[in-house]
Amino acid sequence: MNAPSNLKYTKSDEWFDPASGAAGITDYAQSQLSDIVFVEILVDEGEEVTVGKAIASVESVKASAEIYAPAAGKVSAVNKGLSEKPETLNSDPYGEGWMIKIENGAAGEVMDSAAYEKYCEGRTH
């Protein structure tokens, strides 16, 4: 499992980069979903999001999942390319797989990478 130390993580498997405002789903989440075949971003640039608001919907060959905002603030960018290449989430969830960027984002209840890895280790699959 990959959990970069510069990011913050939620118990619902979203990540947030306080430096850039980028947010998306974790490597753990994409590995549980398996091959992601569909992504829909549910928010637009300029929209205000609150912690826990649905920001995206993803579907894989196994399941579908809602992705929630890990931070509150104004959406400054949306990764429109994900809908055309949803498999990016499987290969690069922390890079090209970012979903939205939140300007001056105030993180909700988040963990550092060590706490998130420990949390994931204790979960049943």
Across 22-26, 55-59, 62-66, least confident range: 62-66
Mean pLDDT of the 65-78 span = 97
Its pTM stands at 0.94
Q: Can you give the C-alpha Rg of the chain in angstroms?
A: 13
Q: How many residues does the chain have?
A: 125
DSSP assignment of 2-30 equals: ---TTSEE-TTSEEE-TTT-EEEE-HHHH
Task: Delimit the domains of the chain by residue range.
Answer: 8-112
Give residue 16's pLDDT: 98
Question: Residue 25: CA atoms inside 13 Å, Cβ hemisphere, count?
Answer: 31
Query: What is the per-residue pLDDT for 125?
Result: 53
Residue 79 scores a pLDDT above 70: yes
pLDDT for residue 1: 80
Q: What is the pLDDT of residue 124?
A: 64
Fold designation for 8-112: OB fold (Dihydrolipoamide Acetyltransferase, E2P) (2.40.50)
